[in-house]
């Protein structure tokens, strides 16, 4: 599948303390405003994930709706997305989410 066949996920800095996560896909485009600054961003065929400090948020890639949100206790960095499971790394180790 060519990149042009898929919506492009973009993380854009809005202010110093908040961000916007959005797709660019013609009529199917959406914008999701975050509560805090986004530190990491990842995308799968069905989801867009981002972290804000110790919180990881999963959005539906089709419409930008929040699927779930987890607080992991330390600053989260994405390690991998495998078979629908999200693995994040923190100072305390690796956590499996979703």
- Does residue 43 sit within a domain? yes
What number is the average pLDDT over the span 1-20? Answer: 50
- pLDDT of 15 higher than 60: no
Q: Grade residue 68 by pLDDT with cuts at 50, 70 and 90.
A: very high
Domain at 13, CATH number: 2.40.10.480
Mean of per-residue pLDDT scores for the chain: 76
Most confident of 25-34, 62-71, 72-81: 62-71
- Does residue 77 sit within a domain? no
- Does residue 25 sit within a domain? yes
**Token representation of residue 17:** 């303390």
- pLDDT of 28 higher than 70: no
Q: Decide: residue 92, CB within 10 A, 0-12 exposed, 13-18 middle, 19+ buried.
A: exposed
- Does residue 94 sit within a domain? no
- Does residue 59 sit within a domain? yes
Number of domains in the chain: 1
- Does residue 89 sit within a domain? no
Domain that holds residue 56: 3-72
């Amino acid at each position: 599948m060519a990149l042009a066949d898929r919506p492009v996920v973009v993380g854009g800095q809005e202010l110093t303390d908040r961000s916007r996560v959005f797709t660019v896909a013609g009529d199917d485009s959406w914008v999701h405003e975050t509560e805090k600054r986004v530190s990491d961003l990842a995308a799968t065929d069905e989801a867009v994930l981002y972290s804000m400090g110790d919180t990881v948020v999963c959005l539906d890639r089709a419409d930008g709706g929040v699927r779930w949100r987890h607080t992991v206790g330390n600053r989260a960095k994405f390690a991998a997305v495998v078979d629908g499971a999200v693995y994040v790394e923190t100072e305390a180790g690796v956590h499996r989410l979703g």
